[in-house]
Amino acid sequence: MTLKAKMILDKDFTISAIDPRIYGSFIEHLGRAVYGGIYEPGHPLADEKGYRKDVADLIRQLNVPIIRYPGGNFVSGYNWEDGVGPIAERPRRLELAWKTVEPNHVGTNEFAEWAKSVNTEVMMAVNLGTRGMDDARNLVEYCNHPGGTYWSDLRVSHGYKEPHKIKTWCLGNEMDGPWQIGHKTAEEYGRIAEETAKVMKWVDPSIELVSCGSSNTSMPTFPQWEATTLEYTYDHVDFVSLHRYYGNYNNDTQSYLAYSLDMDHFIRTVISVCDYIKAKKRSKKTINLSFDEWNVWFHSKEADKKIDPWTIAPPQLEDIYNFEDALLVGCMLITLLKHADRVRMACLAQLVNVIAPIMTENGGRSWKQTIFYPYLHASVYGRGIALHPVVHSPKYDSKEFTDVPYLETTAVYRPEDEEVTIFAVNRSLDSSLQLETDIRSFAGYRVIEHLVLENDNLKAVNTIEHEAVKPHSNGNAHAEDGTLLANLSKASWNVIRLKKH
């Protein structure tokens, strides 16, 4: 059986220009993300400063615009001063969030320098768990002030004459969570975040700030947390954060591939709370969203229980992703694009080794996980203007969801290049889907590529020896007389690129 769906694309049906930071990622001092991930002195492919060139090359392929750092749960116990100055003099610390030892060989300056080398910006998080506004304002001064003051001159003395000019800053991490070092009530967090935001912007008025939203939708304080904290922070911050991870714990793929509907509901709920506070304050300012942690995370949780505590860079959270994980990641990317008017930043968590699209061997090779490809395609081809397609798709019910469209899709228009890209997932596990798209608004456009990620085995994984899940360009999409026709294989991720001829 072949399913049939229809879509209308029009260059005037727009959502918003897409902020490139929607394709951001995350590197935390956790597991082998830093040590053994981006940084491995002595590796055959390490540069003169110890950074792996093979990993850097893969990150450049992904064209990652911004990377959140240094955490995550890690940041709530982190003294940033431990990570600056001569490496030989830096202390080793017990890292309580993940029960490891942090050697502090990589810190603020090293990460900022490395970020420039892979053509990305830094989204810096400050510690509002064990520390507060004084340490945060000092860090802004250290990073961004040109010189002539204590903290900026200290940076200069550490060998970094030019300021890092870090624009985007997170006011703590998941402060609603009891697992968080320095966990706070909404009122406690709202007050410290408000006062911290004030002094950080007094040091550097050009920065943007992200207030902590709920750690996930199942938190008992959601969404009241957002309402309460924004009462304090609304006038001082630019974004509120969202975090969400999914897993196929019950081996119910039909429900699993529908979790992006839950993500959509999360986004809509947070937008409504932000706009309620806007109305309550009679404000003309709009708070946007930073979905700065999102991914699949469940494969490694049993293995992580067996890791010995108090070691350096153990293999934590090393999920090995399969094909169906890549399909869900594709659906989640489409969901972010559907909300490009309010989701201005997002971070696939994380980038290397830790629930990541890129994996490495210590001393050995690196390779691409299955989720690498939808992330790559969206980042490379999803820049421009998010369109609002009119979609008619057959639907199904699963154990957890009703009215799930088989077709998950959106499109991006780049008028300066005269290109349109359609991203589409066929959620059906047993039927292909015939997609008919009205593209009369794009007269003269022709298909230049139809990329497909498909595999008959939903559980297929990529390994260092064999890449079982990788895209091909043999899709059959074609345009004629103002209509685009494409057959989307069962359980597939599709990227259809059109260009005016």
Which one-letter DSSP state was computed for residue 308?
P
User: Under a CB-based contact definition with an 8 Å cutoff, are residues 242 and 291 in contact?
Assistant: yes
> Residue 299 has which token pair?
């494969």
What gap in Å lies between CA 414 and CA 25, rounded to an integer?
A: 23
What gap in Å lies between CA 333 and CA 492, rounded to an integer?
A: 14
Categorise residue 376: left if φ over 0, alpha if ψ from -120 to 50, beta otherwise. Answer: alpha
Q: In one letter, which amino acid is 199?
A: V
What gap in Å lies between CA 306 and CA 261, rounded to an integer?
A: 33
Q: Is the entire prediction scored with pTM above 0.95?
A: yes
- Please choose, from the candidates 303, 176, 291, the residue with its C-alpha nearest in 3D space to the C-alpha of residue 245: 291
User: Under a CB-based contact definition with an 8 Å cutoff, are residues 233 and 241 in contact?
Assistant: no
Question: Helix or strand or coil: residue 200?
Answer: helix
> Residue 131 has which token pair?
């520390």
Active-site position among 293, 324, 419, 454:
293
Q: Which residue's entry shows tokens 């860079």?
A: 313
Domains of the chain, earliest start first: 2-10+387-500 (2.60.40.1180), 19-26+65-381 (3.20.20.80)
Q: Which residues of 23-50 are buried (b: 16+ CB within 10 A; e: fewer)?
A: bbbbbbbbbbbbbbbbbbeebebbeeeb
Q: In one letter, which amino acid is 423?
A: F
Q: Which residues of 296-320 are buried (b: 16+ CB within 10 A; e: fewer)?
A: bbebbeeeeeebeeeeebbebbbbe
In the residue annotation, 174 being an active-site residue is answered as yes
Q: Which residue's entry shows tokens 């890292």?
A: 95
Q: In one letter, which amino acid is 363?
A: G
Question: Helix or strand or coil: residue 64?
Answer: coil
Q: Cα dist. 149→112, 203, 205, 332, 473 in Å?
A: 20, 11, 17, 45, 56
- Please choose, from the candidates 61, 69, 81, the residue with its C-alpha nearest in 3D space to the C-alpha of residue 114: 69
E strand spans, 263-326: 288-296
Active-site position among 121, 174, 408, 419:
174
- DSSP state string for 351-414: SBSSS-SEEE-TTS-EEE-TTHHHHHHHHHH--SEEE--EEE--EE--SS-SSEESEEEEEEEE
In the residue annotation, 293 being an active-site residue is answered as yes
Per-residue pLDDT of the chain (501 residues; tens, 9 = 90+): 789 999 999 999 999 999 999 999 999 999 999 999 999 999 999 999 999 999 999 999 999 999 999 999 999 999 999 999 999 999 999 999 999 999 999 999 999 999 999 999 999 999 999 999 999 999 999 999 999 999 999 999 999 999 999 999 999 999 999 999 999 999 999 999 999 999 999 999 999 999 999 999 999 999 999 999 999 999 999 999 999 999 999 999 999 999 999 999 999 999 999 999 999 999 999 999 999 999 999 999 999 999 999 999 999 999 999 999 999 999 999 999 999 999 999 999 999 999 999 999 999 999 999 999 999 999 999 999 999 999 999 999 999 999 999 999 999 999 999 999 999 999 999 999 999 999 999 999 999 999 999 999 999 999 999 999 999 999 999 999 999 999 999 999 999 999 998
